[in-house]
Amino acid sequence: MTIQYINTTEKLDALCRQIAKEPWIAMDTEFLREKTYYPQFCLLQIATPDWVACVDPLALPDLGKLFDVIYRPDIIKVLHSSRQDLEILYQLTGKVPGPIFDTQIAAPLLGFQENPGYAMLVSSFLNINLSKAHTRTDWTVRPLSEAQIQYAADDVIYLCKIYQIMCEQLEKLGRLHWLDNDFKQLNDTELYQISPANAWLKIKGKNKLTGRQLSIVQALSEWRESTAQSVNKPRNWLVRDDMLLELAKLQPANVAELAKVRGINERLVNRYGRVICDLINQAKQRPPIPLHEKGRPPKKTQQQEAVLDVLTAVVRIRAEENSLNPIVLATRKDLEKLIFGENDVPLLHGWRYTMVGEELQCLLDGCCSLNLSKENVVINKS
């Protein structure tokens, strides 16, 4: 299959006409974000069973026509582990294309583990071992070699084949539309919005801080995230997480004290020292945002442990019947949440609820009973 390399407006127009005729396309992106806060969009690969193209966004002045056709709701976009690809498209357009079919999300319905890697699917479905020759390619450098372009194109060529096989197998099992709601959730734009005010939630070790220290970490994390976004640099290039914690404990009151902190970046002190100290002094005067850490689940009684074992057995039975990995259906923590009446459990939604969640609820509510023999377990509805 000849790879179309799209680096002129004329070629892009022709590609858009091709895409418009298709019911679905496989997509992948190449990007770089080692030196930037936002991923730098370097290449877009698109394929169908009949053709494949690599679009060079660095060579094209305007991708508006391409986005218009890609975002058409009558064209399914097939991706693997789509979150980062969709994040790039959201940042470029402010929208997320739909509908989406994510092969990573769909794979567990065919017996794979949760979140399988792309190489695993290629190997399992196509008996091909992916090359790692260009894993560390700097995709911003031009011109791209033929080997680099082939490497990038192979991802969507194989993705097309995997999608077709998956659809055929899911259709035979009656599971093709089980994930419709899961895929719709990928179009929620909140997934791709990064709020500086919530940046502190990702700081490890925050739960060991005092109230004043936590308030400082919250203020500095929000400032760091906003600044990293505005200058488009990785947040850790400004201040590392461990340094945020150190500053919260030492609480330097002025630039001179800040400069004495071991490991502090001199450039950071010169450029942002006064701002950092002002934030620290202000944060010391106000209470922190409550952690709202989820407490440890209540200690289970022996009877509850026995109930948990019974639910686990039912999950294993239903998983075996449907050729699924039991963990894909429910983890032990999911079952614990169910026992303690929590609602935020995958078992209570979508295909998991249909396959086993409703049944487990019936057991807990006393609407079902178990009959045991030496060979099997039978669930009877009252």
Q: Which domains does the chain have, with CATH numbers?
A: 3-192 (3.30.420.10), 196-283 (1.10.150.80), 302-381 (1.10.150.80)
User: Do the Cβ atoms of 24 and 75 come closer than 8 Å?
Assistant: yes
pLDDT at 19 over 80: yes
Query: What integer is the mean pLDDT of 225-246?
Result: 96
* Percentage of the chain lying above the pLDDT 90 cut: 77
Strands (E), 75-220: 76-79, 100-102
Query: What integer is the mean pLDDT of 258-281?
Result: 95
Residue 119's pLDDT is 95
| Tokens found for residue 54 | 């690599």
Confidence band for 32, pLDDT divided at 50, 70 and 90: very high
Residue 296's pLDDT is 60
Confidence band for 131, pLDDT divided at 50, 70 and 90: confident
pLDDT at 93 over 90: yes
Residue 21's pLDDT is 97
Query: What integer is the mean pLDDT of 222-240?
Result: 96
Q: What is the mean pLDDT of the chain?
A: 93
Instruction: Tell the burial category of 129 from Cβ atoms under 10 Å away from its Cβ (0-12, 13-18, 19+).
Output: exposed
Residue 135's pLDDT is 79
pLDDT at 289 over 60: yes
Residue 297's pLDDT is 65
